[in-house]
Structure 1
Amino acid sequence: MDNRAGEMEAFIRVAELKSFSEAGRKLHLSPSAVSKLVTRIEDRLSTRLIVRSTRGLQLTPEGDMYLVRARRVLDEIDDAERAVASGGKAAPSGRLRVNASIAFGLMYVQPLIPAFLERYPDVELDFSLTDGIIDLLEERADIAIRSGALPDSSLKARKLIESHRMVVASPDYIAKHGLPHHPDDLVNHNCLRFNFPLPLNEWSFRSPETGDRLKRTISGNFMCDNGPTMRRMCLSGLGLARLGRFHIQADIKAGNLVEILSDWTPQDEQLIHAMFAGHEHLATRIRAFIDFLVDHIDPMGNGLRHPD
């Protein structure tokens, strides 16, 4: 194991197991041999990747970055060998890390996972949910599913659904506080907010008479970090919320939520994309997962086409 791939494998094992001894057992090497392989990388890079602390082994920021890149390099090597061995028709395999926004992940992605893994049993799916902004490298994600404008970066993206955001309230809230008829009326209402630095707390509108666009920064006595909690608070009658139609269309249909200021929000577009780092040779498991989502999700945000 004196090549770089071997060094990377040793480093990955140490990073995952937090132990040179455990990594050595997995690789059938002594702890000192594993330590030398990691040291060889650090010497070549002239930077520390792993530090020892009272909590055990910890990765430095450079170590975190190297771990993500090393995994991808070994994954690509594995894909290449499988493809050659199978005449260019290797089945997707290896670990796939997917991070999705909470509401979309629960409603659209999670129900599809069993069928995806049944079709591709050699894929090991690592699935996480969060509504915050993530960095694919920092979060060690292969795919990030997010709504909003695409970042100006090297990331590639594939559109999953095209929906729009709606300002809504429960019938109980409306009965107690009345309806706002103009965006300026929001100052007199309890508007539910997100607590992370996104433009979601600046609601966009368009005048039905002049077509002029305007924005209003809203305020209220409740903040949270995810869409499902926001929906539940809105259903409870706590205040107004601005949520994606794909998330609340069943509540609208059942009469549990009422759309308000609809004349002012006809083009409050919400696009949801699967984003991934662009590579000349995209790993087959990444391509397979994104294709699977596109094949099963209605592009207008009306649910799953055939979840089985």
Structure 2
Amino acid sequence: MTRIMADRSGEMEIFVTAVREGSLSAAARRLDLTPSAVSRALGRIEARLGVRLITRTTRRLVLTPEGDAYLHAAQRILADIAEVEGALADQAAPRGRLRVSAALAHGRLSVVPLLGAFVARYPGILVDISLSDTLEDVAGGRADVAIRFGPLADSPLTARKLGETGRTIAASPDYLARMGTPALPEDLHAHNCLNFNFRRAEPVWPFRRDGRDYALPVGGNIEANNGETLVQLALAGVGVVRVGSFHVEDHVAAGRLVALLEPFNPGDREDIHALYVGGATRPARVRAFVDFLVEKLGRS
């Protein structure tokens, strides 16, 4: 019957250390053992395997072919053990670099203000955040978590809903004083409607009247690839915008912008998701960050 060894990984560590240090006495000093304890451990391995792993000379240790094969296997096994133990320890105390990609405006307005509280809760995590309306390649390893809006494309990524946002049409009081306030959606034909440049060639804004949804073509003289720019233009009195409500709610509350045509708002909502690789096997720092976002953004 094969004898069950209680500490084979410990013997592997002694073997690897002896080879790395070049002598039994140096390995003993490194591991805080006696030279005889190191020698007995190596002897137990060789007796169990039935082969000689090391040829001992007065000056150095020489690996046999079997010893060389055992060395590589032992190094791999010890690395696997260290990785597993590190991952389990990480569950208790998440740590490491966390690469986050967020849309420009939502990141600035909603995510960045939360980071101080997050790193205070998890001091072992270094947050590396990039704000861009270009979706980073999470599956390819360019980001650990990406926070994005809208319908989800088919992908191997895991998605967790963080919340949702509506849409608001708004303009500055200065612009409305000059151009008039639209009372009906069709009044927008006489206004400078600033739009996104990644929408349709002929942009349309949705409305609802008498229970019926319809799309109204609008036009303007500036297009942009992000809502942050459009809001800046609206604040400057350049035109009318239709953007995510989170973009403008503070400006509307402060009177810097005026919400328009709310009785005709179709109530369309856009989901906000955190995208990341893996489910239950995701790193603890990713789990901690996504859970934190759900906790904080779900309240707002």
TM-score by length of 1: 0.64
Task: Tell me what 1:233 maps to.
Answer: 233
**What are the ranges of 5 or more consecutive residues in structure 2 without an aligned counterpart?**
1-79
**Are 1:79 and 1:284, in contact at CA under 8 Å, matched by a contact in 2?**
no
CA drift at 1:193: 1.6
Task: Tell me what 2:86 maps to.
Answer: 82
Is residue 190 from structure 1 mapped to residue 187 from structure 2 by the alignment? no
2-structure distance, mates of 1:273, 1:293: 10
Task: Tell me what 2:218 maps to.
Answer: 218
Q: Which has the larger radius of gyration?
A: 2
Structure 1 residues 150 and 236: alpha-carbon distance in aligned structure 2, compared to 1, 3 A threshold: same
1-structure distance, mates of 2:201, 2:114: 30
2-structure distance, mates of 1:123, 1:178: 51
Structure 1 residues 92 and 130: alpha-carbon distance in aligned structure 2, compared to 1, 3 A threshold: same
1:122 aligned to which of 117, 124, 135: 124
> What is the root-mean-square deviation of aligned Cα atoms in Å?
2.7
CA drift at 1:241: 0.4
2-structure distance, mates of 1:191, 1:78: 59
1:179 aligned to which of 178, 181, 201: 181
Between 134-143 and 166-175, report the one with greater CA deviation: 134-143
Task: Tell me what 2:107 maps to.
Answer: 105
CA drift at 1:186: 2.4
Matches within 5 A, 1:13-28: none
Is residue 252 from structure 1 mapped to residue 256 from structure 2 by the alignment? no
1-structure distance, mates of 2:297, 2:199: 29
Which amino acid counterpart does residue 99 of structure 1 have in structure 2? S
Task: Tell me what 1:295 maps to.
Answer: 295
Task: Tell me what 1:146 maps to.
Answer: 148
Number of paired residues?
221
CA drift at 1:198: 7.4
CA drift at 1:298: 4.4
Task: Tell me what 1:263 maps to.
Answer: 263
- SS of 1:259 mapped into structure 2: strand
CA drift at 1:94: 2.2
Between 186-195 and 230-239, report the one with greater CA deviation: 186-195
CA drift at 1:124: 2.5
Task: Tell me what 2:277 maps to.
Answer: 277
Structure 1 residues 253 and 230: alpha-carbon distance in aligned structure 2, compared to 1, 3 A threshold: same
2-structure distance, mates of 1:98, 1:200: 34
**CA offsets 1:240-295 (integer angstroms, 9 cap, x no match):** 00122222111111222111111111412132221223344111111100111122
2-structure distance, mates of 1:213, 1:157: 29
2-structure distance, mates of 1:141, 1:270: 23
- SS of 1:149 mapped into structure 2: coil
**What are the ranges of 5 or more consecutive residues in structure 1 without an aligned counterpart?**
1-75, 302-308
Is residue 164 from structure 1 mapped to residue 177 from structure 2 by the alignment? no
CA drift at 1:197: 4.8
**Are 2:194 and 2:241, in contact at CA under 8 Å, matched by a contact in 1?**
yes
**CA offsets 1:60-85 (integer angstroms, 9 cap, x no match):** xxxxxxxxxxxxxxxx997633144x
CA drift at 1:181: 3.1
1-structure distance, mates of 2:198, 2:230: 13
2-structure distance, mates of 1:255, 1:203: 24
1-structure distance, mates of 2:221, 2:81: 52
2-structure distance, mates of 1:79, 1:265: 53
2-structure distance, mates of 1:198, 1:81: 52
2-structure distance, mates of 1:191, 1:77: 60
1-structure distance, mates of 2:187, 2:258: 17
- SS of 2:228 mapped into structure 1: helix
**Are 2:274 and 2:290, in contact at CA under 8 Å, matched by a contact in 1?**
yes
**Are 2:135 and 2:146, in contact at CA under 8 Å, matched by a contact in 1?**
no
Structure 1 residues 135 and 265: alpha-carbon distance in aligned structure 2, compared to 1, 3 A threshold: farther
Structure 1 residues 135 and 77: alpha-carbon distance in aligned structure 2, compared to 1, 3 A threshold: farther
**Are 2:139 and 2:276, in contact at CA under 8 Å, matched by a contact in 1?**
no
TM-score by length of 2: 0.65
CA drift at 1:188: 2.1
CA drift at 1:148: 1.6
Structure 1 residues 79 and 264: alpha-carbon distance in aligned structure 2, compared to 1, 3 A threshold: farther
Which amino acid counterpart does residue 82 of structure 1 have in structure 2? G
